[in-house]
A and B are shown apart, each in its own frame.
Chain A
């Protein structure tokens, strides 16, 4: 099965380890328990997938830290990138 790595238990995104097609099932690794998630859209290698629904203006967490805030509501399984999150550094 295709895989995504989660860097910290607090994270709401994971990094996909290969190009992912819509509706593809992914195994999430890195936490104590391995879980699965379905991608809702295409996600290129090295890009991020939402592990939970992220509300608009909510923090996006990777490495257990804030890497930006959501500019719109991001449904679970979506591609998380510059089109729907922005840096907090302006």
Chain B
């Protein structure tokens, strides 16, 4: 009789409270686009500092402003961050982001710096370098300890999708997501436009009626917005190249995308960058574009992201290590330096699907234990915050 396989563990940084980290970043976080140059400069001056740039941030209003502060604050307070310095143009945004971060991770040393009060580029740079070297010294004593798979929240994202995504890399990502959830952890998946067509099927997987209704509502909002800008989303999908690739209906296309989240009931829906209150399979109502999506998943607390790709995409998140997995043999060859897990053997008949699952799971625990991803090695990392409204 086959023995039940033990749940894998990883070596992470235990925090005074909340989930453990797979990294111990000293994050230098931009509050606004205009602060990016200083933040980048700190990244090159202090060896252990990780610059986290942003998009927009200036002159935001209402929900847009709240969303920006939430995403940047939750990113600063990420489990993979040991200490954070928020750098913004003026005090209001710097303090607001630092407050979100302090509420989320009360144990974390967090500094808020604003360029207007410190006075200019050179003084701010010098001030932040001084703060950063002190915090870097403090972080240097941290030790990794053994952590459980059930302490993980992973993000599941698919980008540059093709036929192999729907039948190989998304299902394999879903199998690993199921393993994490079965161990007591969580998976967050999103890309609202990609559930359209299968939202009625996804709603049936909701743990309760309220969650089911919110799944349907989020899909309807996306379709209605598309219609308001003159796009018939349901009528135009599957697109002609999808049909050439073998997709026969919008349900089939969406089911292939959803497959990356595994098979467990959906326990909660969160907005862009919101932290879930429950454990299990979580849906985030966030846009599909790769960088926007991984930025939302990481802000929601994903300690690592599995990024399933067909034709390839080099990008990763600066704080949440992003594991690229492909089932496409050509991509595995032509974009090898951007691929972390090559499961194209499933296509070629040299790898079974359960072997592919085990390979991805092993990479996840290795990355959480400190192994760098291809996007970390190459510095192919980026963050952008989704906009809730038009710029004024």
**Contact status of A15 and B251, CB under 8 A, knowing A3-B349, A89-B197, A89-B234:** no
From A44, A62, A63, A86, residue with most partner B Cβ within 10 Å: A63
Q: Chain B, 274-309, contact with A by CB distance < 8 Å: what is the 0/1 string?
A: 000000000000000000000000000000000000
Q: Among A30, A46, A89, point to the contact of B251 (Cβ < 8 A).
A: A89
Does B252 lie within 8 Å of A62, measured CB to CB? Answer: yes
**Contact status of A65 and B246, CB under 8 A, knowing A5-B167, A30-B353, A89-B197:** no
How far is B247's CA from A82's CA once the two chains are assembled, in angstroms?
8
Does A15 lie within 8 Å of B201, measured CB to CB? Answer: no
Whether, in the assembled complex, A85 has its beta carbon less than 8 Å from a beta carbon of chain B, the answer is yes
**Contact status of A87 and B255, CB under 8 A, knowing A30-B353, A46-B163, A65-B198:** no
Question: Which residues of B are found within 8 Å of A80, using beta-carbon distances?
Answer: 248
Q: Among A3, A17, A63, A81, point to the contact of B255 (Cβ < 8 A).
A: A63
Does B251 lie within 8 Å of A44, measured CB to CB? Answer: no
Does A89 lie within 8 Å of B249, measured CB to CB? Answer: yes
How far is B259's CA from A89's CA once the two chains are assembled, in angstroms?
19
Does A48 lie within 8 Å of B246, measured CB to CB? Answer: yes
- How many residues of chain B get a CB closer than 8 Å to chain A's CBs? 25
| Closest partner residue, chain B, to A44 (CB atom) | B246
Q: How far is the CB of A42 from chain B (nearest CB, A)?
A: 13
How far is B265's CA from A26's CA once the two chains are assembled, in angstroms?
34
Q: Chain B, 228-265, contact with A by CB distance < 8 Å: what is the 0/1 string?
A: 00000010000000010110111110011001000000
Question: Which residues of B are found within 8 Å of A87, using beta-carbon distances?
Answer: 197, 248-251
In chain B, residues 164-205, which have Cβ atoms closer than 8 Å to a Cβ of chain A?
166-168, 171, 197-198, 201
Does B255 lie within 8 Å of A46, measured CB to CB? Answer: no
**Contact status of A67 and B248, CB under 8 A, knowing A3-B349, A7-B167:** yes
Whether, in the assembled complex, B366 has its beta carbon less than 8 Å from a beta carbon of chain A, the answer is no
Question: Which residues of B are found within 8 Å of A7, using beta-carbon distances?
Answer: 167, 171, 259
Q: How far is the CB of B261 from chain A (nearest CB, A)?
A: 12
Question: Which residues of A are found within 8 Å of B346, using beta-carbon distances?
Answer: 5
Does A89 lie within 8 Å of B256, measured CB to CB? Answer: no
In chain A, residues 48-90, which have Cβ atoms closer than 8 Å to a Cβ of chain B?
48, 60, 62-63, 65-68, 80-82, 85-90
Does B246 lie within 8 Å of A46, measured CB to CB? Answer: yes
How far is B213's CA from A17's CA once the two chains are assembled, in angstroms?
37
**Contact status of A65 and B347, CB under 8 A, knowing A30-B353, A45-B163, A81-B246:** no
Q: How far is the CB of B328 from chain A (nearest CB, A)?
A: 11
Q: Among A29, A63, A86, point to the contact of B249 (Cβ < 8 A).
A: A86
Does A66 lie within 8 Å of B251, measured CB to CB? Answer: yes
Q: How far is the CB of B227 from chain A (nearest CB, A)?
A: 15
Q: How far is the CB of A12 from chain B (nearest CB, A)?
A: 13
| Closest partner residue, chain B, to A84 (CB atom) | B248
| Closest partner residue, chain B, to A68 (CB atom) | B249
Does A65 lie within 8 Å of B163, measured CB to CB? Answer: no
How far is B251's CA from A30's CA once the two chains are assembled, in angstroms?
21
Question: Which residues of B are found within 8 Å of A62, using beta-carbon distances?
Answer: 252, 255
Does B246 lie within 8 Å of A68, measured CB to CB? Answer: no
Does B259 lie within 8 Å of A63, measured CB to CB? Answer: yes
Does A67 lie within 8 Å of B167, measured CB to CB? Answer: no
Add 19 more A-B contacts to A46-B245, A89-B251 (CB < 8 A): A5-B346, A15-B246, A17-B347, A45-B246, A46-B167, A47-B246, A48-B246, A48-B248, A63-B259, A65-B201, A68-B248, A68-B251, A80-B248, A81-B246, A82-B248, A86-B249, A87-B197, A87-B251, A89-B234
Can you list 15 A-B contacts with CB-CB less than 8 angstroms, sorted by A residue number?
A: A5-B353, A15-B246, A30-B353, A45-B246, A46-B167, A48-B248, A65-B198, A66-B201, A66-B251, A67-B248, A68-B251, A86-B249, A87-B197, A87-B250, A88-B251
Chain B interface residues toward A at CB < 8 A? 163, 166-168, 171, 197-198, 201, 234, 243, 245-246, 248-252, 255-256, 259, 346-347, 349, 352-353
6 pairs of A and B residues whose beta carbons are closest in the complex: A46-B163, A46-B246, A87-B249, A47-B246, A67-B252, A68-B249
